[in-house]
Amino acid sequence: MIEIRQVSRSFGRLRALDGATATFGLGKIIGLAGENGSGKSTLLKIMAGVMGADSGEVLLNGHPVTRTSAGSRIAYMADADLYYPYFTTDELLRFQESQYPDFSMEKALEAAEFLNVDRKTKLKNLSKGNRGRAKIVATLGREADAYLLDEPFSGLDPMVRESIVKGLIRFTDPERQTVIMSTHELHDVAPLLDEIAVLKNGRIAAHDAVEDIRMAQPGGLTAYLRTLYEKGREPVGKPS
């Protein structure tokens, strides 16, 4: 379980997060939505321990998340390509194995085969879609308590997005692992999500079970978000 308690963060005069609070349960796949600049990436970085909060705290299974503690329990995939461009995918996986005790090369290679990843070409020479596949394989190769994915579908074509969705289903364990992803591609990930949390004005403005949204909102997640932003509607209800 991940608990976010009154997390705030500013960059100069810009208030990115302003008391964000939420609880994300074990075994859930959660979409983190919001307009550009709503603080999604900032919140994920703080949850992953790669950025500090000005105030508030993040707990994972009751323990505070810090820069030193998070690496062994949380797998974080940034939106940007942070890996060495001259690595092949095989070299990237070996690097991950050297850095994270929970990294399973067997699992990573199985995921690479499932996602049809080119393991021999340097990352800088791969298409954006193939780099996206390589990044997700490097992340899913870990046996972490939580996977935090920042825009894993950004700029990828529908076929690549579909394959990554299938990979997330196949290579995460709903009995013991939580997946939280920021995304604008709600149409592609809607069938995958258990819950959606919406950031607005630096806070979690809504956090609902997707099944409740389907029952209450005929237009689905897109209509749900539009209503929330245009009319300031209250959340549908507490997530299960």
> Between 128-140 and 158-171, two packed helices, what is the crossing angle to 10 degrees?
10
pLDDT tens digits along 8-20: 999 999 999 999 9
In the chain, the number of structural domains is: 1
Q: What does the DSSP assignment read for 181-228?
A: EE-S-HHHHGGG-SEEEEEETTEEEEEEEHHHHHHH-TTHHHHHHHHH
Q: Is 56 a member of any domain? A: yes
pLDDT in tens, 180-237: 999 877 777 888 899 999 998 899 999 999 988 888 877 778 788 888 777 655 555 5
Domain range spanning residue 204? Answer: 2-231
What is the average per-residue pLDDT within 51-76?
87
Cβ(188)–Cβ(38) below 8 Å: no
pLDDT of residue 142: 95
**Cβ-Cβ contacts under 8 Å for 218 (sequence gap 6 or more):** none
For 52-56, 159-163, 210-214, which range has the lowest pLDDT when averaged over its residues?
A: 159-163
Average pLDDT of span 129-157: 89
Q: Is residue 136 domain-resident?
A: yes
CA distance 161 to 218: 25
DSSP classification of residue 234 = P
Nearest to 173 by CA among 104, 119, 116, 221: 104
Q: 128 with 135: CB under 8 angstroms? A: no
Give the pLDDT of residue 92: 95
What pLDDT score does 233 carry? 52
pLDDT-based confidence at residue 103 (cuts at 50, 70, 90): very high
Helix (H, G, I), strand (E, B) or coil at 178: strand
Judge whether 239 lies within some domain. no
Q: How many helices (H) and strands (E) does the chain have?
A: 9, 10
Q: Percent of the chain scored above 70 by pLDDT?
A: 95
**How many C-beta neighbours within 10 Å does residue 29 have?**
21
Position 82 scores a pLDDT of: 64
Mean pLDDT taken over the chain: 87
Structure confidence at residue 240 as a pLDDT band (50, 70, 90): very low
Res 3 pLDDT > 90: yes
- So what's the pLDDT on residue 75? 93
Per-residue pLDDT tens digits for 5-49: 999 999 999 999 999 999 998 889 999 998 888 899 999 999 999
Q: Is residue 89 part of a domain?
A: yes
Q: Work out the widest C-alpha separation in the chain, in whole angstroms.
A: 51
Can you give the pTM of this predicted structure? 0.89
Tell me whether residue 146 is in a domain: yes
Q: Answer whether residue 115 is part of any domain.
A: yes
Please write the tens of the pLDDT for every residue from 167-180: 888 999 888 899 99
124 inside domain = yes
Name the residue with higher pLDDT: 68 or 122.
Answer: 122
- The domain that holds 158 is classified in CATH as 3.40.50.300
Residue 238 lies in a domain: no
Q: What pLDDT does 238 receive? A: 52
Q: Which residue has the higher pLDDT, 69 or 88?
A: 88
Is pLDDT of 124 > 60? yes
